[in-house]
Amino acid sequence: MLNYKIPKKWLIWVTVTLISALLLAIASSASSIYLYGNSTNNIKADAAIVLGAAVWGQEPSPVFRERIKHAINLYKNGSVKTIIFTGGVGESNELAEAIVGKNYAIAQQVKAADIFTETESRTTHQNLKNALEVANTHQLTKFLIVSDPLHMKRAVLMARGLGMDAHSSPTPTTRYRSFQSQIEFLSRETYFYFVYLVFKI
């Protein structure tokens, strides 16, 4: 019986090659996520779907406020006819994210009749899935997805995976301004981007 041993240098070469390929894939994905978030679509749609973010009591967190304000601007300049706010309850003593978004928009003269909400979701995929159910009820078929720039590629990919005619509309400003906060957000998004590609969640 032959006892063939693979040379150690070949094992090292294969390991280095695999690690290099993985690092290249990660770097390439991170770069594409960053670049995608810096592109905008000047198109009109039936609705802006605002992805949920944290709220502080009855007020939106700074991150969520930027998303809400961007959706309001899209509504007021005629890019969308309606706004769908998404997001459930984070803490038991807080309002649902979608309700906080709706209240903020109404205070900024968005017509209540042009605002829809879903208040059950806790993740990006749930945000989009539940928003689609709301949209179907109101015969809305074309969407601008509103979120932070680094969140856009995964969000739009998810939306299109659900069969939505979805387009990117990143916030023009972001609360993730410092280099460290952007790197942390980009690292997290790159991880979840791969998770979605593999598991579709």
d(CA 15, CA 140): 50
Q: Which tokens sit at 157? A: 């990919």
Mean per-residue pLDDT of the chain: 89
d(CA 33, CA 182): 12
Give me the pLDDT at residue 42, please.
81
pTM of the model: 0.86
pLDDT single digits (tens) 143-171: 999 999 999 999 999 999 999 999 999 99
- Say if residues 130 and 121 touch (Cβ distance below 8 Å): yes
